[in-house]
Amino acid sequence: MSVSARHSVLVALLVAGAFFMENLDGTVIATALPHMAQSFKTGPVELNVGMTAYMLVLAVFIPMSGWVADRFGARTVFGGAIGLFTLSSILCGLSTGLWEFIAARVLQGIGGAMMVPVGRLVVLRTTEKKDLMRSISYITWPGLVAPVLGPPVGGFITTYASWRWIFFLNVPLGLLGMALTAVLISNERGAGVHPFDWTGFVLSGVSCTTLMYSLELVGQPAMHWSIMFLYLTASIVTGALAVRHFRRHPTPLLNFSSLQLRTFAVTIWGGSLFRIAISVIPFLLPLMFQVGFGMDAFTSGLLVLAVFAGNLGMKTVTTPVIRRFGFRKVLLVNGMLTAVSLFACSLLSPGTPTAVIVVVLFVGGLCRSLQFTALNTLGFADIPPAQMSPTTTFYSMVQQMTMGMGVAAGAIALRLAILLRGGSPGRVTLMDFHVAFGLVTFLAIGSVLDFFSLEPDAGAVVSGHRRALKSE
């Protein structure tokens, strides 16, 4: 391995570590909410705003990250984001009240928003095209693994130590990350930095926030439809104004020009449906195991780790598979296999042997890992260097939004299942979970339809598939 290739691997691993820390904190407090509620003398439902605020701030501030990195330099912003994330983690662990905790989570979300796209931009700038698939593979696994590991890790720490250690454990990781950032990452800045697009920032922020909140309202048992439609209307109106503004502004906050490239467009449209579908798994599966199967929280979390094992198991063969068959075939065939694995979850019952459940979840983990890596790599295969920064910002925001919408989609699917059988919103049955997984399967199938528009040799520059075609 050459010196430049070795350096790109080290940078990718550093960014992957930061991504893992950021993604883990999005879900790790789920099983700790009852204990945290006791500390804050409030209810677990009220504390759920800590998770929501974190995810919303990530989505709102990600569009700003590309401009900030170009203005102040990648090393400054990435290292500073890790520092802010670490400091806010300490504040979360020291919180004694609900509003203190929410404020700390908002700061943590801002730090995470700077880490996600800036870290990916650093990897893309320091990696040659021929090594891009390997580097993307490294920084893909946090988004897959962290949501699955979050609940059992949070449950273990809360049970055997204290929920505060969920946040204090970020401190040594953050200090190590800042030290490695100073050594490995150059302070490269963008050429010709333009004034910040504050109008676009406000419009996109309001649109993202109201959309996420309206979707969350749909999934709640007691919900006023008029309020939900009010927020949804606000999201659509401000979103339309934001798109109109971005298309007319000479230096917009979000640049849509990369959507003209088919390899990037499919990762936005079809890829978004896929990310929503797979992000439902860490939400619906533990609930089904606990509510539908009668398992305790820790046992259900351990079963979900089979998905994590599948994610890791696929990493060793992802690159050879894509190089052999190409992006188009992999996305089409593996996309359908992912849909089948989701539907298989609707067939599980308390009488299903544990070994069968583990196999179903493991195969599902294999499929979602391969699809996720293929999409993340293909999206940047044809992006020229000059467009890398705005494209990374746009892609990161869409990715964060759609993965955050996965939890809302799971709640909505569950609510629709209850409505279809005419049941009470407060009483969920095993059949409701089965129907919900069936509904989510259609999302995965819908994502596959978009991949038919790809050329057979799409992304061949980064996958090496063109050489495979010539040799046959």
Q: Which residues of 215-252 are buried (b: 16+ CB within 10 A; e: fewer)?
A: bbbbbeeeeeeeebeebbebbeebbebbbebbeeeeeb
Q: What local confidence, expressed as pLDDT, does residue 348 receive? A: 93
Which of 65, 68, 74 lies closest to 116, judged by CA? 65
pLDDT 10s digits, 140-149: 777 667 766 7
2-11, 294-303, 411-420, range with greatest mean pLDDT: 411-420
pLDDT value of residue 31: 62
Q: Which two structure tokens, joined as six digits, stand for 197?
A: 């697009």
Confidence bin at 467 (pLDDT 50/70/90): low
pLDDT per residue as tens digits for the range 305-342? 888 788 778 877 888 888 888 899 999 999 999 999 99
What pLDDT was estimated at residue 162? 83
pLDDT at 316: 76
Identify the pLDDT of residue 234: 94
Separation between Cα atoms, residue 332 and residue 10, nearest integer Å: 32
Q: How much is the average pLDDT of 101-108? A: 89
Question: Is the pLDDT assigned to residue 472 strictly greater than 50?
Answer: no
For residue 351, give Cα distances in angstroms to 356, 360, 389: 10, 15, 51
At 160-176, the pLDDT tens digits run 888 888 888 889 989 99
Q: Give the pLDDT score at 364.
A: 92
Among 240-249, 299-308, 354-363, 368-377, the minimum mean pLDDT is found in 299-308
Over range 439-457, report the average pLDDT.
Answer: 90
Nearest to 416 by CA among 437, 447, 398: 437
Q: What angle do CA 271, 273, 298 make, to 5 degrees?
A: 105
> What is 26-58 written as a DSSP string?
HHTTGGGHHHHHHHHTS-HHHHTHHHHHHHHHH
pLDDT tens digits, 274-316: 999 988 887 788 778 878 888 876 777 778 888 878 877 887 7
Q: What whole-number distance in Å separates Cα of residue 196 and Cα of residue 95?
A: 34
Report the share of the chain in percent with pLDDT over 90: 25
Unique residue bearing structure tokens 């698939």: 133
Query: What's the whole-number average pLDDT of the chain?
Result: 82
The single-letter DSSP state of residue 290 is I
Q: What is the mean pLDDT of residues 2-6?
A: 68
Closest CA to 285 of 21, 16, 27: 27
Picking from 96, 48, 399, 355, the residue whose alpha carbon sits closest to that of residue 220 is 48
Distance separating alpha carbons of residues 160 and 279, to the nearest angstrom? 28
User: 367 to each of 308, 334, 421, how far by Cα in Å?
Assistant: 11, 6, 31
CA distances from 128 to 135, 136, 389 (A): 10, 12, 16
Looking at residues 8-14, what average pLDDT do you find? Answer: 83
Interhelix angle 198-218/225-248, nearest 10 degrees: 150
Question: Domains, the chain, ranges and CATH?
Answer: 1-186 (1.20.1250.20), 204-252 (no CATH), 257-472 (1.20.1250.20)
pLDDT-based confidence at 219, cuts 50/70/90? low
pLDDT at position 190 is 67
pLDDT at 393 > cutoff 60: yes
Burial (0-12, 13-18, 19+ Cβ within 10 Å), 172 = exposed
pLDDT at 91: 93
Tokens of 359: 């196999």
Region of 464 please: left (phi>0), alpha (psi -120 to 50) or beta.
left
Supply the pLDDT for residue 454. Answer: 86
pLDDT score for 347: 93
Positive or negative torsion for Cα 223, 229, 235, 236: positive
Would you state the pLDDT for residue 471?
Answer: 43
DSSP state of 449: H
Tens digits of per-residue pLDDT, 239-275? 999 999 999 888 888 888 888 888 899 999 999 999 9
292: nearest Cα among 305, 277, 306, 303: 303
**What is the C-alpha to C-alpha distance for residues 391 and 376, in angstroms, rounded to an integer?**
12
Answer yes or no: are the C-beta atoms of 316 and 439 closer than 8 Å: no
Q: Which amino acid is at 12?
A: A
pLDDT (0 to 100) of residue 354: 92
Nearest 5°: the CA angle 24, 27, 29 is: 105
